[in-house]
Structure 1
Amino acid sequence: MSGVTGTTGGLFGGEPLLSVQDLEVTFRTDAGSSRALRGVSLDVHPGETVAVVGESGSGKSTTAAAVLGLLATNGKVTGGRILFAGEDVVTMSASDMARLRGAQMGLVPQDPMSNLNPVRRVGAQIVEALEDNGVAKGAAAQARTVELLEEAGLPDAARRAQQYPHEFSGGMRQRALIAMGLAARPRLLVADEPTSALDVTVQRTILDGLTSLTSRLGVAVLLITHDLGLAAERADTVVVMYRGEIVEQGPARRILQDPQHEYTRRLIAAAPSLASRRIALAKESGDADAAADDLLAPSLGEGAVAVSTPGAPGAPAEPDTIVEVEHVSKVFRLRGRGLFSRGTDFTAVDDVSFTVPRGRTVALVGESGSGKSTVARMMLGLLEPTSGTIRFDGTDVGTGRDRAAEVAFRRRVQPIFQDPYASLDPLFTIYRTIEEPLRAHRAGTAAERRERVHRLMEDVALPTQLLRRYPGELSGGQRQRVAIARALALDPELVVCDEAVSALDVVVQAQILHLLADLQQRLGLSYLFISHDLAVVRQIADVVCVMEQGRIVEQGTADEVFDAPQTAYTRTLLEAIPGRTLELGRAG
């Protein structure tokens, strides 16, 4: 295929630790056999990090599973070889492969919550990995567990080892999986999207720790990711996969600066981290047109938005203001551990004030636990503020509305949540899913609702043939488009997007962001955009409010916040964006 370069052997001397040669993998399905990998070849040398990038369905995770001998029961290697330290793992027995996987190959999977046993203490699970692989037993294994957790960056490791997974944050759970993956000091570590669900600062901490550990131990790393910016920053070699084939591979910086294949250029154009970098470079060079190419939000113009000062009352309602948030706080009562304990108060949102201009996008950004999603739920009327006021179009969003006012509010304000599979009823067809708000609000006749559903499918660029399918039969990007169509069914004026693109790969993410921007321009929608990804926010937001520990610590136009951040916390968030210092070449 055009654009394919040679294998990666030119970067690191000596024999590769892992050599995948002309690999083919076939899956048995109800419709017959399906080839998932075709002629995949790559090398990983000792101490080298090789990143395999591509969108969902490209075959990158299937490649990792084949290397580890963890293909699904209906999958089989039907061609090629996988050599690890000179031995073909394809021909190994299951017991030999299990020993190799435990002692010499480690895995850091994508979703820590589904890969940690929720009813066993974290330390006990690491002890089990050590004992199963013959590294240590008994008291020695327990002591080694604490050391591994400390190496992975967990403070107070001895106490943490006695806790359960649900008592850990997402970043802490990911560190525990890294500790488990490196427990037996493997020669190869396969990291499958290890940070895709984490905010940028935690992501950077995790990857910095992983890089430090693997380089110190001389471990080879096979990194699976959909973000080419992250791959170019962290890997020595990048392998680009598309529809089960490798279309390009080579040194990371060369791939980024001089991509040969059209699909690689598409990935570079789609990656939010690289778009953010292009905007910054264009502004530095004074090329306003180039910067505008990557901006999805229209320019506000000087003085177009009244932005309130953190901790101060929101600006007086202007004709173009659709939402006013004034001095809003939310305090939760946490239960105590003892039977008669009174519990403690936790302030999730602390004296927050901002406005949302009509037809514009305001982004709330910050790390996990900063309070941004709690603000979104209060704006949706799903939580009652402990103090302060939220007004939508001049009317208080809080309790006390009559039934008619509540129904009217629900029609005018709609949410789009992070996980479209969780927010769509798996037993409803796509048609029933989109029609449900219309039916609930008794909007139109059955024929009018049918016409409206078909128009909405056109709006979100989905074929009407999908209307008879169920959510489980759609891709993640298609499900999110369905969620957007459902949110638009009642012609809302405000859409609250709570991490609406964070679960999607970069190509689909770019499509959804462009769709949201296009719908805003055509329909005059206002967005409250909740995100931990500042690279995404840079593209779509007009106004940015930065939250830390429940408070807004900085807010202003996107240009103000990104070009001249005023607080150390904002600078920390910006510095954590992958690829922010990379030199870029052509992307299209």
Structure 2
Amino acid sequence: MAGTTDTTETPSTTAGVTGTASGEVLLRVRDLEVTFTTEQGPVVAARNVSFDVLAGQTVAIVGESGSGKTTVATAVLGLLPGNGRVTAGSVEISGRDVVGLSRAELQRMRGRVLGLVPQDPMTNLNPVATVGSQVVETLEGTGVARGRGAKERARDLLVEVGLSDAESRMGSYPHEFSGGMRQRALIAMGLAGSPALLVADEPTSALDVTVQRVILDKLADLTTSRGTSVLLITHDLGLAAERASHLLVMYRGELVEHGSAREILRDPQHEYTKRLLAAAPSLASRRIQIARSTGQLDAVADDLLAPTEVTEVGEVGEAVGTEAAPVIRASHLRKVFPGARRGLRRRPDVVAVDDVSFDLPRGQTLGIVGESGSGKSTVARMVLDLLPPTSGSVELDGLTVGARSQAEEVAFRRRVQPIFQDPYSSLDPLFTIARTIEEPLRAHGVGSVTQRRARVRELLEQVALPEDVLRRYPSELSGGQRQRVAIARALALNPDVVVCDEAVSALDVVVQAQILHLLAELQSQLDLSYLFISHDLAVVRQIADQVVVMEKGAVVEQGRTDDVFDAPQQPYTQALLAAIPGANLDLAIS
């Protein structure tokens, strides 16, 4: 039965199996316990975990950061770090217990029996080696092919994963590939030895929705054709349910629910699973869509929708707003980057933003969405006056940004503040949290030392962080806590406008939902205006009053968020919406 919390039974026996699973158990995990040795003593990261994966089956492990899902995956692969070990239970692959095998024995299994597609393609590819040579190295390391045969097989693999012009791409370095291309290369390496089991650890979390769908479709095609089983690790329930026949829900190191993916979505039993379902942006977007089509919007409005003002929908390229003067007005923005030189040759100029116009009404949220490379972050940097436009203008309450005296520049910085994507790299690792939040006040000479300390404590309370974090450093906080600190710092000077550039994309869905709720509360309390940049349309649907859709530097569609999502006019917008994970899932909305 779906939704069982009895981990002594396996998912394959508690619910029907869909897909191409053959019924033969490939991976059998029983009573797995993983313990890490730390300075504070032993920490049990996973306990009493039991499940099966059938041959040809895709099973997803879901849960927020720290739930233990990656720990289980690395235990299966025999890749636990030096301070981690399996302290109880067994991991059998094709009937062989791999716990306790020597490094040499595990190495012989990797590639041919066990494959891995890791999360971050940039940190998992060697930056000083060509992509082709890394695929060749994988083939030779697993004994699949050698010499010229390995090079030919590497080229064929890159063709199989959908890399155009694979012959010339063999000699390219990772930094010359886009994120999607790098992920394809990792898939080629993971499947190089045609493994029986492929572990895909958050394989598309850093990609926008359209590239994500292409990559996952290609991965599904390749694994199906090879009969490969997949253990998919993700925090996105919508993605998991769309791609896997079975779900394993982990919470604080334990398997709290498992069963058929569709049944768990329809009738979750554990409170944590219900929390994950409520937090997943893709599923929230789907429930809004169902509610509108069935006339049951009131049933989900309180949970999923913020009130929006009725505004007039303009034509593409025209600013959209209310009758009141906007706090930010962008007019015909254009940004051209000069082409790079290679020897005596100069590459063509790159038009990153081309004739972009929009209004940001006071107290509202304007979302700018699009694929990676669409120009949305370049627009954000121009609004922040971190990048001068080639032509066009940005106005703050009618005053042109960038054409100001030093005093006006300082005043602008106080009124417009950013929240960036990665809360770790945007915080100084050598500053305590108290110093981090206080820094804008010090830089602008606001208040006395006593007044600034009081303001820091007030800000900490606004973002719902305990006072004891003030003495800590960013490395000692979770991702969600760091992003709350970044929000507190952005609010220190009482800005009118906050530019959120992918401000929640690095967070798991539960923390993401908390931060979105916090942003909505702060907007209501402080009358803030948000420019919300994101590639995640499901998130934008929940938070934005209006939306601008960008493609290749240009605006292709804009208007009220409900209008654009319910009746998209442009094929590009339609493709973006169709790519949201779980867009076709049958969900309950109550």
Cα distance in 1, alignment partners of residues 141 and 513 from structure 2: 44
Give the drift of 1:159.
1.1
The yes-or-no answer on 1:78 pairing with 2:87 is yes
Which residue does the alignment assign to 1:425?
A: 428
Which residue does the alignment assign to 1:163?
A: 172
TM-score by length of 1: 0.97
Look up the equivalent residue of 2:203 and give its one-letter code: P
Moved more, 328-337 or 241-250: 328-337
Which residue does the alignment assign to 1:324?
A: 329
Alignment counterpart, residue 570 of structure 1, candidates 554, 565, 573: 573
Alignment counterpart, residue 470 of structure 1, candidates 470, 473, 496: 473
Shift in alpha-carbon separation, 1:419–1:586, aligned structure 2, 3 A: same
The yes-or-no answer on 1:346 pairing with 2:355 is no
Cα distance in 1, alignment partners of residues 188 and 329 from structure 2: 46
Cα distance in 1, alignment partners of residues 276 and 82 from structure 2: 31
Shift in alpha-carbon separation, 1:520–1:296, aligned structure 2, 3 A: farther
The yes-or-no answer on 1:124 pairing with 2:139 is no
Q: Structure 2: which 5+ residue stretches go unaligned?
A: none
The yes-or-no answer on 1:333 pairing with 2:335 is no
Give the drift of 1:318.
5.2
The yes-or-no answer on 1:142 pairing with 2:146 is no
Cα shift readout 1:80-100 (whole Å, capped 9, x = no counterpart):
000011111012111001111
Give the drift of 1:60.
0.2
Cα distance in 1, alignment partners of residues 305 and 441 from structure 2: 30
Alignment counterpart, residue 191 of structure 2, candidates 173, 182, 190: 182
The yes-or-no answer on 1:408 pairing with 2:417 is no
Cα distance in 1, alignment partners of residues 347 and 209 from structure 2: 32
Alignment counterpart, residue 367 of structure 1, candidates 368, 371, 389: 371
SS in 1 for 2:549: strand
TM-score by length of 2: 0.96
The answer (yes or no) to whether the contact 1:279–1:290 under 8 Å persists in 2 is: no
The answer (yes or no) to whether the contact 1:329–1:350 under 8 Å persists in 2 is: yes
The answer (yes or no) to whether the contact 2:77–2:114 under 8 Å persists in 1 is: yes
Alignment counterpart, residue 526 of structure 1, candidates 524, 529, 546: 529
Alignment counterpart, residue 289 of structure 1, candidates 269, 275, 298: 298
Cα distance in 2, alignment partners of residues 40 and 291 from structure 1: 34
The answer (yes or no) to whether the contact 2:22–2:56 under 8 Å persists in 1 is: no
Cα distance in 2, alignment partners of residues 518 and 439 from structure 1: 27
Look up the equivalent residue of 2:124 and give its one-letter code: N
Which residue does the alignment assign to 2:399?
A: 395
Which residue does the alignment assign to 1:438?
A: 441
RMSD: 1.4
Cα shift readout 1:93-144 (whole Å, capped 9, x = no counterpart):
1100111123210000000000000000000000000011111111111111
Look up the equivalent residue of 1:515 and give its one-letter code: L
The answer (yes or no) to whether the contact 1:275–1:294 under 8 Å persists in 2 is: no
Cα distance in 2, alignment partners of residues 50 and 335 from structure 1: 45
Look up the equivalent residue of 2:463 and give its one-letter code: V
Shift in alpha-carbon separation, 1:286–1:98, aligned structure 2, 3 A: same
Cα distance in 1, alignment partners of residues 282 and 565 from structure 2: 13
Alignment counterpart, residue 278 of structure 1, candidates 287, 297, 302: 287
Which residue does the alignment assign to 2:26?
A: 17
Look up the equivalent residue of 1:485 and give its one-letter code: A
Alignment counterpart, residue 231 of structure 2, candidates 222, 226, 246: 222
Cα shift readout 1:224-264 (whole Å, capped 9, x = no counterpart):
00001110110011000000000000111011111111100
Which residue does the alignment assign to 2:217?
A: 208
The answer (yes or no) to whether the contact 2:5–2:255 under 8 Å persists in 1 is: no
Correspondence list, 1:305-324, <5 A: 305=311, 308-312=314-318, 314=319, 319-324=324-329
Cα shift readout 1:170-189 (whole Å, capped 9, x = no counterpart):
00000000000000110000
Which residue does the alignment assign to 2:123?
A: 114
The answer (yes or no) to whether the contact 1:108–1:178 under 8 Å persists in 2 is: yes
Cα shift readout 1:243-302 (whole Å, capped 9, x = no counterpart):
00000001110111111111001000000000001111111111231242343432213x
The yes-or-no answer on 1:458 pairing with 2:461 is yes
Which residue does the alignment assign to 1:3?
A: 5
The answer (yes or no) to whether the contact 1:294–1:539 under 8 Å persists in 2 is: no
Cα distance in 2, alignment partners of residues 200 and 462 from structure 1: 32
SS in 2 for 1:377: helix
The answer (yes or no) to whether the contact 1:296–1:514 under 8 Å persists in 2 is: no
Which residue does the alignment assign to 1:536?
A: 539
Cα distance in 2, alignment partners of residues 67 and 404 from structure 1: 60
The answer (yes or no) to whether the contact 2:236–2:509 under 8 Å persists in 1 is: yes
The yes-or-no answer on 1:60 pairing with 2:69 is yes
Shift in alpha-carbon separation, 1:165–1:31, aligned structure 2, 3 A: same
Cα distance in 2, alignment partners of residues 376 and 206 from structure 1: 28
Cα shift readout 1:428-473 (whole Å, capped 9, x = no counterpart):
0000000000010011011111111111111111001011000000
The yes-or-no answer on 1:241 pairing with 2:241 is no
Identical counterparts, % of pairs: 65
